[in-house]
Amino acid sequence: MADTMTSDHFKDATRVDRIEVDCWGLLQAAVHDKSCGWRLPVLATCSHGELRQRTVVLRKVDAQSRMIFVHTDVRSPKIKSIDGNQNVSWLFYDAMRQVQLQLKGLATVHTDDDIAEQVWQDETEFSLRGYMAPYVPGSVRLSPESNLPDEIRHSVPDRVQLSAARANFAVISCSIDTADWLLLRPEGNLRARFIYEGSSVSHADWLAP
């Protein structure tokens, strides 16, 4: 299993251009591959001097425009943080492939546009049921609280039940400007950095790991 997994990306670790292409290939694959560690990145935000990190699910990747997408509750604190400062960073680690990726970029929150609507339509009912949460995420409760309405705690809602939850749903897109890749290897680790201008690579450099 590990051999198959490692054979498809970062096979040619001598060519920096191949590595950049493989980074985006693996990000795209991670959206659909639950065994890939890059499916669950950590998103870091910083606003008014407060740093926050949280795990999220990578939902969509557009390799051409260097954009990545996740979804979240519009009432959650990370939205306020991004409203205050669009500069965010992402940490991806795939333990099977022993490969880390740090991304930096500018985040945008989408609620009412085509981007939000498309992701809402594409997602499964199960993954959207969290947006039926009656309480603001992170608000203090007096007892243990799943924040799911009783009627869907043990079932998957249909689209009609979900319709009111659309108002709580937001997509965060991020336009990536820097990628820092690190591959762990017994014979010596390798590291490379890619800087983007628009959707093209403006600098591709090997770095000392």
Ligand X SMILES: Cc1cc2nc3c(=O)[nH]c(=O)nc-3n(C[C@H](O)[C@H](O)[C@H](O)COP(=O)(O)O)c2cc1C
Q: Is 188 left (phi over 0), alpha (psi -120 to 50) or beta?
A: left
Q: Return d(Cα 52, Cα 174) in angstroms, integer.
A: 17
Site string for ligand X, 1-40 (x = CB under 6 A): ---------------------------------------x
The pairing of strands 169-183 and 42-47 is unpaired
Is there binding between residue 129 and ligand X (CB under 6 A)?
A: no
CA-CA-CA-CA torsion sign (160, 161, 162, 167): positive
Q: Least CB distance from residue 189 to ligand X, whole Å? A: 27
Element (H, E) at 3: helix 2-7
Query: Per CB under 6 A, does 77 bind ligand X?
Result: yes
Contact status: 57 vs ligand X (CB under 6 A): yes
Query: Per rule CB under 6 A, is residue 70 in the interface with ligand X?
Result: yes
Residue 56 interacting with ligand X (CB under 6 A): yes
* Contact set with ligand X (CB under 6 A): 40, 52, 54-57, 70-73, 76-78, 137-138
